[in-house]
């Protein structure tokens, strides 16, 4: 596969580039970050396959999005341009260029009012501006090119700013005395943490199957769910992070989401049913394995070192 990876500066984008570059059978022809390819600029998307940067690509992994959930509430026009309009333009350009689009979406398209994992055909009802913009984006992609892959995922963590790093940073500051009092984490949201490295592997595997690169069965097309196996709460996730990074003695208390008074609502239950991807032979490891893999990565090693001090 000759690949373009948008959003290469983000958690997933970085892992996609690393995985593809380490694979002898694939080539990254262009991997722009936000500065190099602004999804809010229609002209940039229009010239994607004409300037030379994306010429000859067979797969475009769209790992770029406006993911600041709370800021999306006050910056809805920007969120709409990046998360809804840009994927539609990408789908048109990829269809014209005979390039497979792999577009990444989110568990936030669901209301969170449920207790069983969400299937791909479950009714969508996003409860915040971010979720609404992402839903419009995935709907546009599906309408323009039904053969494109739209992959919803959840609670992603990897290289860069993420929940794991934030928890360790808060723990380190309490150990040093910079902050006092117990660490408070919400316990009324349930989801599936997903390591970006495992997600990148899964996306690449789906793309290979879609292009017939692995020679197996009916090629996947359309909508899939892909996230770390198992589920947990943010509180329990934080507890495991602390235990595995040398902060097992740190006190942690439970909070309710409404106590945080955040601009955007969060779905209470966003576990995704990943059986459709599993039927294609693509299943991600347990979220705990993802955490271990992250902590064994160069970025994770730095976190482990901060816990050891």
Q: Could you confirm whether 224 is annotated as catalytic?
A: no
CA distance 278 to 209: 12
Structure tokens at 16: 């996609």
CA distance 233 to 192: 8
DSSP E strand stretches across the chain: 2-6, 27-30, 59-62, 100-106, 149-153, 156-157, 183-186, 190-191, 194-195, 222-225, 232-233, 252-255
| Distances from the Cα of 298 to the Cα of 106, 160, 305, angstroms | 26, 11, 11
CA distance 60 to 71: 27
CA distance 225 to 208: 17
Residues 247, 307 contacting (CB under 8 angstroms): yes
In three-state secondary structure terms, 77 is: helix
Q: What are phi and psi of 205, to 5 degrees?
A: -65, -40
List, by residue number, the catalytic residues. Answer: 130
């Amino acid at each position: 596969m000759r690949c373009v990876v948008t959003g290469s500066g983000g958690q997933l984008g970085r892992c996609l580039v690393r995985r593809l570059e380490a694979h002898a059978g694939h080539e990254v022809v262009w991997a722009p970050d936000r500065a190099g390819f602004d999804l809010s600029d229609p002209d940039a998307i229009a010239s994607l396959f004409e300037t030379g940067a994306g010429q000859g690509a067979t797969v475009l992994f769209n790992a770029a999005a406006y993911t600041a959930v709370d800021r999306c509430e006050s910056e809805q026009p920007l969120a709409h341009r990046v998360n809804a309009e840009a994927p539609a333009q990408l789908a048109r350009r990829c269809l014209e260029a005979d390039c497979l689009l792999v577009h990444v979406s989110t568990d936030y398209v669901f209301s969170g009012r449920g207790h069983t994992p969400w299937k791909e055909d479950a009714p969508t009802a996003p409860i915040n501006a971010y979720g609404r913009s992402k839903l419009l984006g995935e709907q546009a992609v599906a309408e323009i090119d039904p053969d494109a892959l739209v992959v919803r995922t959840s609670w992603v963590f990897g290289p860069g700013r993420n929940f794991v790093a934030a928890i360790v940073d808060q723990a380190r500051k309490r150990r040093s005395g910079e902050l006092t009092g117990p660490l408070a984490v919400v316990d009324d949201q349930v989801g599936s943490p997903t390591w970006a490295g495992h997600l990148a592997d899964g996306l690449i595997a789906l793309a290979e199957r879609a292009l017939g690169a692995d020679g197996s069965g009916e090629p996947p097309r359309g909508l899939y769910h892909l996230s770390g196996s198992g589920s947990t709460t943010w509180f329990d996730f934080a507890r495991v992070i602390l235990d595995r990074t040398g902060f097992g003695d740190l006190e942690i208390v439970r909070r309710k989401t409404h106590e945080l008074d955040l601009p955007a609502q969060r779905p209470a239950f966003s576990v995704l049913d990943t059986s459709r991807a599993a039927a294609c032979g693509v299943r991600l490891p347990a979220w705990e394995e993802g955490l271990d893999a992250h902590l064994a990565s160069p970025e994770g090693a730095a976190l482990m070192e901060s816990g050891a001090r």
